Amino acid sequence: MVDNTFQDEGRTGTSRRRFMEATGGIGLSAALSGYLSDEPRREKRPSERVRALVGEMSLQEKIGQMTQVAAYEVDDDPKAFFERYQPGSLMYATTADPLQLAEDINELLDAAIEAQPHDVPFVFGIDAVHGNNNLDGATIFPHNHGVGATWNEEYARRMAEHTSKTLRATGTHWTFSPVADIQRDPRWGRFYEGFSEDPYLASRMVAEKVRGYERTENGYKSAGATVKHFAGYSEPRHGDDRTPALIPYRTFRHTHLPPFHAGISAGAETVMVNSGSVNGVPAHASEELLQTILRDTLGFEGMVVSDWHDFYRMVEVHEYVADVKDAVRLGIDAGIDMYMVPAAGIESDTVDTYQRHLRNLVESGEISMDRIDDAVTNVLAFKEALGLFENPYADPQRASEIVGGARELAYEIATDSMTLLKNDGTLPFDPKVGTVLVTGPSADDVANMMGGWTLGWQGVGETLPPAVTPLDGIKGIVSDSTEVVHEPTGLYTFDNEAAVRKAASDADAVVAVLGEGPYAEEHGDIDTLGLPDAQRELVRTLDSVGTPHAGVLFAGRPRGTRVFDRLPAAVMAYLPGTMGGAAVADVVFGNVSPSGRLPFTWPAGTGQLLNVHNLYPPELFGTGETPPTSTQEPTFPFGHGLSYTEFTYADLRVEPSTLPEASANERINVSVRVTNSGDRSGDHVIPVYAHRRHGAIASPMTEVLGVDRVSLDPGESTRVIVKASVNQLATVPGDVFSKSKLRVLPGDYAISVGEWDEEQTLTVR
Ligand code: NOJ
């Protein structure tokens, strides 16, 4: 029994999350329900319509439904193209102009439906991952790692809801988002696409992003979501994209899978497969991943799409099979329902070769008709859920009404993500300061604040999305008498040292906006976490001048190591998107007290990787005789984030404090009195952590069980009650290579909150 007797005691602060939960705005347990049990595969119940279509379709039509091509491949004669290939899906925008896109897709739909013997429309998919980032004028939201830093999954849902409206208004039905890959290794170029290294936090975010995309409109889902990349993609052994991952089952099950499970439980219509190999088997060929785990254990009933040319990759990258035909056989048999085959340039893997191979494999009996029918059923059921049989078309007029909206939301998310890493009192700067120097490579650079996947795979080109840069933001909030001086520097070049030195000496405050340029996928792989030399030089210069200076980082990962020694104050701004500069200015000049917390560990360098908060103990290596450089102590720990005010904790309670193992799916109340003991108002995120003290197998050093957020005025105090998920502690019991079912192991768990070292015990019996 959960004791609620103290629910109303002394609560004077506000909590958006609690309000949302109380009013039903957030599903409390759906995201993680069933976490402990392996759900048996449910009987798929396709509608009459889908069943009839599958019964009537020719093999050519069925193979068509299992094919996804790029819209740019449709040539001058769309009718002939559609008659020939009957593609079940098109991908990638034909244009960045929202209105034109809606019109183009409507026209393509006309041709496709006319060519399809059963009038089945295609489903149009696109990577809209932080807003509808393919469209001119679209509002760009922070990338997922920044959303993770807010610890507020409501934001994930709201940004996805807006994106979903823009998708459907522009003729697109499906986004290849959200990423459910857990953050493990910041060398990996896709780190920023994930929400967190913690399975609880990532799961909550993924589930809400799915719900946002798949909002209901006119009785159907307005867009389909994809949880990707199933699974184990984010821990390549060398940190390089699409290189082998070696993951123990216990880690895979406990750490990697929960965000996928959460997205699936939230209703995700589709899952995209990991392009890499896991423990020696390419995910695209793994029946264990795609059947046993995805279907039988996680209960996924939707459609499985491959990633980009991954049958070809089985031959050319993984050296797993000798030819693409064999890869098609393995992949379709393992459970892939739709193949993404969009690049015309790969001769051995075109839409032609794929469809021919598949036909031959079916005709020779190497792939069963049952498997084909199963795949086509999944594709058609997906289209039905989106209402495409009723109306696949866009109303182009809506495109201009919706695209470019939700700026206020983009500002709120960016602001709540800002994470104060370090501060000796330098920040906040006074908006009435005489002269402020704004310098660094990203002070006025739109591309750098957006990151990859923004009007281009590798980030923005010539056309820029709407954006407030830090320079704009700072000019907008300082006093009329403040002079704002801008002295840009390069990401990799610092050839204006003299000018920067002079400007810094003449200024009263300096904001240096540092970090990374945009990148995506393998182009973002790195082997050092240090900032480029040029930026370190810049910071050294500022340090030697001595004017109060603060660093702001736009980066897709924890980037910067020893540079913090020379920065008296630093803010992690992630990749904040359109409103990033306004959020930065408000935090740096004190309109807002920062409340973001790192959703990942900030390692002190690549030498100590992997360094994540949920590894097994011991926490520190190399104490005693070993030189301090070999310690595992990170630059900033998971959950770190300072404020301009001070929050103190008292009276931690865990209720109930004893729980039978059989009740581990219930939540417990972890409550603590939080007081704003500083002298200004502020928001504060209160994570609840747990760690099992000892037991049959080691327990991760910390795991998040829940979180709440309060806004408190100076002197104000409130009792915060977090409904904490005990099932998050479930692990795979047994010896080194055990594959047993998840269990919350009996034992004593130390429960703590925030940075407070006080612990209370939860006993699971
Ligand atoms: C390859 C990427 O791995 C995947 O995340 C993306 O959705 C597809 N390309 C489509 O662009």
DSSP 398-414: HHHHHTT--HHHHHHHH
Phi, psi of 721 (to 5 degrees): -120, 115
CA 310/CA 283 separation, integer angstroms: 9
Q: What is the whole-number distance in angstroms between the Cα of residue 236 and the centre of ligand 1? A: 17
Check pLDDT > 80 for residue 690: yes
Q: What residues form DSSP beta bridges with 572?
A: 419, 553
pLDDT of residue 633: 87
pLDDT at residue 665 greater than cutoff 90:
no
CB atoms under 10 Å from CB of 218, counted, come to 9
> Which atom of ligand 1 is found nearest the CA of 228?
5
Q: What is the mean pLDDT of residues 255-270?
A: 96
pLDDT at 143 exceeding the cut of 60: yes
Task: Dig out the tokens for 559 from the structure.
Answer: 């980037």
pLDDT at 294: 96
- Split at pLDDT 50, 70, 90, the class of 247 is very high
Position 695 scores a pLDDT of: 85
User: How high is the pLDDT of residue 621?
Assistant: 53
pLDDT at 42: 59
3-state secondary structure of 310: helix
- DSSP calls for 25-50: SS-SSGGGTTTTS-PPPPPP---HHH
What CA–CA distance (Å, rounded) separates 297 from 318?
27
Gap between the Cα atoms of 391 and 394, Å rounded? 8
Confidence band for 62, pLDDT divided at 50, 70 and 90: very high
Catalytic residues: 307
Per-residue pLDDT, averaged over 447-470, amounts to: 96
Q: Per the structure block, which two tokens stand in for 285?
A: 């060929």
* Residue of 230, 308, 310, 313 best suited for mutating to test ligand 1, as the one with most atoms within 8 Å of CB: 308
Q: Across residues 398-411, what is the average pLDDT?
A: 94
Atom of ligand 1 nearest to the CA of 193: 5
pTM: 0.95
Instruction: Please check whether residue 332 is in contact with residue 290, taking contact to mean a CB–CB distance below 8 angstroms.
Output: no
547: confidence class by pLDDT, cuts 50, 70, 90: very high
Q: How far apart are the first and last CA of the chain?
A: 14
Query: By CB neighbour count within 10 A (0-12 exposed, 13-18 middle, 19+ buried), where does 733 fall?
Result: middle
Predicted local distance difference test score (pLDDT) of residue 16:
37
Distance CA 204, CA 574 (A): 20
Lowest mean pLDDT of 389-398, 560-569, 617-626, 726-735, name the range: 617-626
Structure tokens that stand for 624 in this block: 């005693």
As a whole number of angstroms, the distance between CA 372 and CA 57 comes to 11
Bond preceding residue 229 cis, omega within 30 of 0:
yes
Name the band, by pLDDT with cuts 50, 70 and 90, for residue 343. Answer: confident
| Residue range 615-644: mean pLDDT, rounded | 75
- Give tens-digit pLDDT for 713-732: 999 999 999 999 999 999 99
The Cα 403–Cα 388 span in angstroms is 22
Q: Ligand 1 centroid vs 702 CA: distance in angstroms?
A: 32
Query: What does the DSSP 8-state code read for residue 495?
Result: -
CA 171 centroid distance within chain: 24
CA angle 413, 479, 576 (to 5 degrees): 20
Res 75: pLDDT: 85
What is the per-residue DSSP string for 487-526?
Answer: EE--SS----HHHHHHHHHH-SEEEEEEE-----GGGG--
Q: What is the CA radius of gyration of the chain?
A: 26
List the one residue out of 84, 160, 77, 177 whose CA is nearest residue 126: 177
708 closest CA partner among 652, 680, 670, 760:
670
E strand intervals along 522-591: 549-554, 569-574
How far is Cα of residue 759 from the mean position of the Cα atoms in its chain? Answer: 31
For the stretch 71-74, contacts whose Cβ atoms lie closer than 8 Å and that sit 24 or more positions apart, written own/partner, are: 71/104, 71/105, 71/108, 71/124, 73/342, 73/344, 73/351, 74/108
Distance between CA atoms of residues 506 and 550, nearest Å = 16
Residue 667's DSSP bridge partners are: 725
Q: What is the largest CA-CA distance in the chain?
A: 80
What are residue 302's DSSP bridge partners? none
- Mean pLDDT within 172-177: 98
Least confident of 17-26, 58-67, 134-143: 17-26
Query: Ligand 1 centroid vs 127 CA: distance in angstroms?
Result: 7
Sheet of strand 703-712, all strands in order from the earlier edge strand to the far edge: 658-659, 760-764, 747-753, 682-692, 703-712
Query: Do 660 and 651 contact (CB within 8 A), yes or no?
Result: no
**Per-residue pLDDT for 388 more than 90?**
yes
Q: What local confidence, expressed as pLDDT, does residue 400 receive? A: 87
**Encoded tokens for 74:** 């449709």
For ligand 1, atom 1, the nearest C-alpha belongs to 308
Best of 127, 226, 339, 521 to mutate for ligand 1, by most ligand atoms within 8 A of CB? 127
Q: How far apart are CA 234 and CA 193, in angstroms?
A: 10
- The closest of 209, 200, 157, 147 to 178, measured between CA atoms, is 209
Is the pLDDT confidence value at 366 over 90?
yes
Ligand 1 centre distance from Cα of residue 140 (Å): 19
- CA-closest candidate to residue 39, choices 409, 292, 321: 292
Q: In what order do the strands lie in the sheet with 303-305?
A: 226-230, 270-273, 303-305
- What number does the ligand 1 atom closest to the CA of 176 have? 7
Answer whether residue 435 shows pLDDT above 50: yes
Best residue among 126, 144, 175, 176 to mutate for probing ligand 1, ranked by most atoms within 8 Å of CB: 176
Which pLDDT belongs to residue 76? 85
Closest atom, ligand 1, to C-alpha of 457: 11
Residues 176, 224 contacting (CB under 8 angstroms): no
Ligand 1: residues with CB < 6 A are 127, 176, 228, 275, 307-308
- Structure tokens belonging to residue 270: 């589709």
Ligand 1 atom closest to Cα of 229? 5
pLDDT band at 354 (very low <50, low <70, confident <90, very high): very high
Contact 535, 441 (CB under 8 A): yes
Whose CA is closest to 204, among 217, 195, 213?
195
Q: Are 226 and 305 in contact, with CB atoms under 8 Å apart?
A: yes
Nearest residue (by CA) to ligand 1, atom 4, is 307
Beta strands in 166-299 (DSSP E): 174-175, 216-217, 220-221, 226-230, 270-273, 277-278, 281-282
The pLDDT of residue 56: 98
- What percent of the chain stands above pLDDT 70? 93
**In whole angstroms, what is the distance from residue 492 CA to residue 704 CA?**
38
Give distance in angstroms: CA of 646 to centre of ligand 1: 43
Q: pLDDT class for 356, splitting at 50, 70, 90?
A: very high
81-85, 189-193, 461-465: the lowest-pLDDT one:
461-465
Kindly report the protein residue whose alpha carbon is nearest to atom 9 of ligand 1. Answer: 308
> What is the per-residue pLDDT for 373?
98
Strands, E, within 426-515: which ranges? 435-440, 483-488, 509-515
Distance 18 CA to ligand 1 centre (A): 36
- In this prediction, residue 617 carries a pLDDT of 87
> Which pLDDT tens digit goes with each residue over 4-36?
322 223 333 333 333 333 333 333 333 344 454
Cα 237 to averaged position of ligand 1 atoms, centre (Å): 20
- Cis peptide bond upstream of 70, omega within 30: no
Mutate to test the pocket of ligand 1, among 272, 304, 310 (most ligand atoms within 8 A of CB): 272
Residue 56 neighbours by CB under 8 Å, 6+ apart: 118
Distance 47 CA to ligand 1 centre (A): 30
Q: Residue 677 carries which side chain, given as an amino acid letter?
A: S
Q: Residue 29: its pLDDT value, please?
A: 35
**What was the pLDDT predicted at 345?**
85
Question: What is the percentage of the chain residues whose pLDDT exceeds 90?
Answer: 88
Strand 658-659 versus strand 760-764 pairing type: parallel
Q: If we measure between CA atoms, which residue out of 442, 455, 458 comes closest to residue 523?
A: 458
Tell me how far the alpha carbon of residue 10 lies from the centroid of ligand 1, in angstroms: 49
User: Is the Cα torsion angle 727, 728, 732, 734 positive or negative in sign?
Assistant: negative
* pLDDT tier for residue 622 given thresholds of 50, 70 and 90: very low
**Rounded CA separation 56/45 (Å):** 18
Domains and CATH numbers, the chain: 4-32+645-764 (2.60.40.10), 48-401 (3.20.20.300), 413-608 (3.40.50.1700)
Instruction: Pick the atom of ligand 1 nearest to 521's CA.
Output: 3
Query: How far away, in angstroms, is 740 Cα from ligand 1 center?
Result: 33
- C-alpha 179 to ligand 1 mean position (Å): 10
Kindly report whether the peptide bond that precedes residue 610 is cis, defined as omega within 30 degrees of 0: yes
pLDDT at residue number 45: 83
What average pLDDT does range 324-347 have in this prediction?
95
